[in-house]
Amino acid sequence: MKKFLFTFLAAAFAAALSISAQQDMKPPVPKKVPSVLKIHGYEIVDNYAWMRDRNEKKDPEIIKFLEEENAYTDFHMGKHQGFVDSLYKEMLGRIKQTDLSVPYKKGNYWYFTKVEEGKQYPTFLRSRTSDGASPEILLDQNKMAEGFQYFAISIFEPSDDGNLLAFATDTTGYRQYLLQVKDLRTGEILSDKIERVTSAEWSPDGKYLFVGQEDEVSKRSDKIWRHELGTKNTKLIFEEKDVYFNSGVGRSRDGQMYFIASYAKTSTEYRYLPANAVKDGTFSVLAPRREGHEYYADFDRGEFYIRTNKDAENFKVMRVSQKDPNERFWRDFVPYNPKVKIEGIEFFKDHAVVSELENGLEYLRVMDRRTRRAPMRILTDESVYTMGLGYNPEYDTPVVRYGYSSMITPNSTFEFDFASRKSKLIKQQEIPSGYDRSKYETVRVWADARDGIKVPISIMMKKGTKLDGMSPMLLYAYGSYGYSMTPNFSTNRLSLVDRGMIYAIAHIRGGSELGEKWRQDGRMFKKMNTFNDFVDCSKWLIKNKYTSADRLVIQGGSAGGLLMGAVMNQAPELFKAAIVQVPFVDVMNTMIDDTLPLTTEEWVEWGNPRDDKKAWDYMFSYSPYDQIRKMAYPNMLVDVSLNDSQVPYWEGAKYAAKIREYKTNDSIVLLRTNMGAGHGGSSGRYDRLKEIAFEYAYALTQVGLEK
């Protein structure tokens, strides 16, 4: 009895000590090693530059520090682990774990993927029939991924006759893909291997592959090769030497024309080669590049079709004969309408489909080129939604696929019949645990920005939510590169909204939601509009009682992580907490280093602070890492990935360290590093879902919604 009592007391004492130690756990305190940058007459001291390591095998001291940060994050979120697990199970219950994608036709086969319960990755299949009967396994990504913490497939390109498959894989998350070829008749992986591949196209006879390749250091896609299958004959046919430009190879849907596209942020140039000349022919320039001219070329029926911003800020479509495609002969195919941005156009045997953007909404307009019926927009039932063309590789087709969803309508695949002009739903996302759309509502509101501009915000919430300022909110935004954040559907968000949290997307300047001017007004020397818009949207939402400052959690990743850092420097009092994902926050150090991936091509988007003092001064004024100062900051969860090639891990690591050093309040800053992934997080679907559950658990617990 005494022995039992002693053991019990000892265990209780040890537990008390453990709890006390946990309560007293402090964040890691990284060393300071002053590094002085002298530029444009300034001296900038960086105490955390030592965290940067570009070697494949990182400095053990850095790894130890990141692991200590992970342990600190685990300590703080450990008490919520049960909630994280329950969210994960809840989210998993909404996923049809064994499922098939909608088969698409290419040549003599129908291609599709299958996911199976318990497996992280899809299996790639094909069948002779549209119903997927007697499927043939092409790639089993689960088997291919064995032994790897990360495994991704990018290129998946069957040859015209369906005998060969070109595919590319990445096993680190660094987005550096190895191209291989599989003989689908024998199952043999051929000896052909090309590293660092970014694009690939077969020749019509399957004897050659045109391949785009990136530079090993800068990761700029600068070379196009023609590889003869089964030989060492790999010929360089184009090299993009301008550091502002990337390049890629593609092919028209009718298979008759190949293109090499050279593209910068504000300029493009296309070269073309007829398919009957792939062996010995030379690519010709369609229209020489010039600053400010963006154009995108396609080919059909002996003519080039060019989507261009020449005298058309929101783009128009021109056409010109293959015989003499000189720019002076271009003539209108889709005339310019300043109210409508043309985002793309795709050609089929008798039809063309134009992707349009008007007043922040997406439309698909179908043009009948055989009967000359008047063009028509595909009808939608909702006022706030997202829609876009799906993958339609067949040229001669009676139908075209498109995707549709809204914040309350599950992801849906439709077929539009060109003859009847009617849409048919062929698959809608199933939610096994159940979903009642009538319980939710989605609206679009317009916030007042400080310069008088109206900024749209898409909102999803429980129907009947009172706008009394008491509702918590997760506000998401991006606002860069002209990328529009569409109001799409996510089963994962239901875990927020079902608990009373409002989910919102701020469509701030820098995206293209309201056309090309919306993009241009949020880049270069107008970039501050992006940050101001987000702050003003937050103020508007608080003023109109959608939420309150102590109930508002914000989220953004990559360039959206830059956004998070900038707005917290500008108005930290507006936010309870922030989820800052793979954040581009160490702007100045990154943008003066032309050896880093992406830097040189980004100079056209942000400015070149290395060579231009004006650019330095402007960018420095919003650079999140450089503008950290002594003040109260919100709570933060900063996510980075060790193998991230787009935004290196050290940006977020340095940022978290400096925030902790400067903040004047007791807010908690967590740094979490994925030690085996890249920019997009984990590659396996279950692993990725666990990451989302963790992030949403963080958001919910910040506003007291752990239940």
* Mean residue pLDDT across the chain: 94
Average pLDDT in the 8-18 region?
39
Average pLDDT in the 625-631 region?
98
Residue 446 lies in a domain: yes
Q: What is the pLDDT of residues 383-404, one digit of tens each?
A: 999 999 999 999 999 999 999 9
Report the range of poorest mean pLDDT among 147-151, 268-272, 703-707.
703-707
Residue 274 lies in a domain: no
What's the first-to-final CA gap in the chain, in angstroms?
A: 41
Return the active site residues.
Answer: 558, 644, 679
Q: Listing from the earlier edge strand, what are the strands of the sheet with 331-334?
A: 295-300, 303-308, 316-321, 331-334
Crossing angle (nearest 10°) for helices 60-78 and 685-702? 60
pLDDT at 155 over 80: yes
Q: What is the pLDDT of residues 549-566, one digit of tens each?
A: 999 999 999 999 999 999
Q: How many distinct structural domains can be found in the chain? A: 1
Q: Distance (Å, rounded) from C-alpha 516 to C-alpha 307?
A: 14
CA nearest to 348, candidates 418, 293, 276, 290? 418
Looking at residue 707, what is its pLDDT? 82
Looking at residue 598, what is its pLDDT? 87
Evaluate whether 257 touches 299 at the Cβ level (below 8 Å).
Answer: yes
Residue 98 lies in a domain: no
| DSSP code of residue 379 | P
Helix, strand, coil tally for the chain in percent (to 5): 25, 35, 45
Report the range of poorest mean pLDDT among 14-28, 59-73, 79-93, 463-477.
14-28
Average pLDDT in the 67-87 region?
96
CA nearest to 583, candidates 559, 612, 616? 559
pLDDT at 8 over 60: no
Q: What is the pLDDT of residues 584-596, one digit of tens each?
A: 999 999 999 999 9
Evaluate whether 564 touches 554 at the Cβ level (below 8 Å).
Answer: yes
Residue 251 lies in a domain: no
Looking at residue 22, what is its pLDDT? 44
Backbone angles phi, psi at 651, to 5 degrees: -65, -50
The predicted model scores a pTM of 0.94
Looking at residue 25, what is its pLDDT? 87
Looking at residue 23, what is its pLDDT? 54
Beta-carbon contacts of 231 under 8 Å, excluding residues fewer than 6 positions away, are none
Average pLDDT in the 675-685 region?
93
pLDDT at 441 over 90: yes
Q: Distance (Å, rounded) from C-alpha 434 to C-alpha 490?
A: 14
Looking at residue 201, what is its pLDDT? 97
**Burial state string for 9-23 with b = 16 or more CB within 10 A and e = fewer than 16:** eeeeeeeeeeeeeee
Q: What is the pLDDT of residues 229-257, one digit of tens each?
A: 999 999 999 999 999 999 999 999 999 99
Average pLDDT in the 158-162 region?
97
Sign of CA dihedral 669, 672, 678, 681: negative
pLDDT at 17 over 70: no
Helix (H, G, I), strand (E, B) or coil at 575: coil
Beta-carbon contacts of 240 under 8 Å, excluding residues fewer than 6 positions away, are 220, 221, 222, 223, 246, 247, 262
Q: What is the pLDDT of residues 302-325, one digit of tens each?
A: 999 999 999 999 999 999 999 999
Looking at residue 15, what is its pLDDT? 40
pLDDT at 10 over 70: no
Looking at residue 114, what is its pLDDT? 97
Residue 19's pLDDT band (boundaries 50, 70, 90)? very low
Looking at residue 431, what is its pLDDT? 97
Residue 573 lies in a domain: yes
Q: 512 lies in which domain range? A: 434-586+624-702
Neighbours of 590 (CB within 10 A): 23
Average pLDDT in the 335-348 region?
97
DSSP codes joined into one string, 97-148: SSEEPPPEEETTEEEEEEE-TT-SS-EEEEESSTT--S-EEEEEHHHHTTT-
Helix and strand numbers, DSSP H then E, in the chain: 13, 39
Tokens representing 358 are 């008007």
Higher pLDDT, 370 or 587: 587
pLDDT at 24 over 70: no
Residue 65 lies in a domain: no
pLDDT at 3 over 50: no
Q: Distance (Å, rounded) from C-alpha 297 to C-alpha 623?
A: 36
Residue 326 lies in a domain: no
Residue 648 lies in a domain: yes
Q: Distance (Å, rounded) from C-alpha 75 to C-alpha 54?
A: 29
pLDDT at 571 over 80: yes
Q: What is the pLDDT of residues 39-68, one digit of tens each?
A: 999 999 999 999 999 998 999 999 999 999
Crossing angle (nearest 10°) for helices 81-93 and 685-702? 130
CATH of residue 582's domain is 3.40.50.1820
Sign of CA dihedral 673, 676, 679, 681: negative
Tokens representing 599 are 């830097």
Evaluate whether 537 touches 506 at the Cβ level (below 8 Å).
Answer: yes
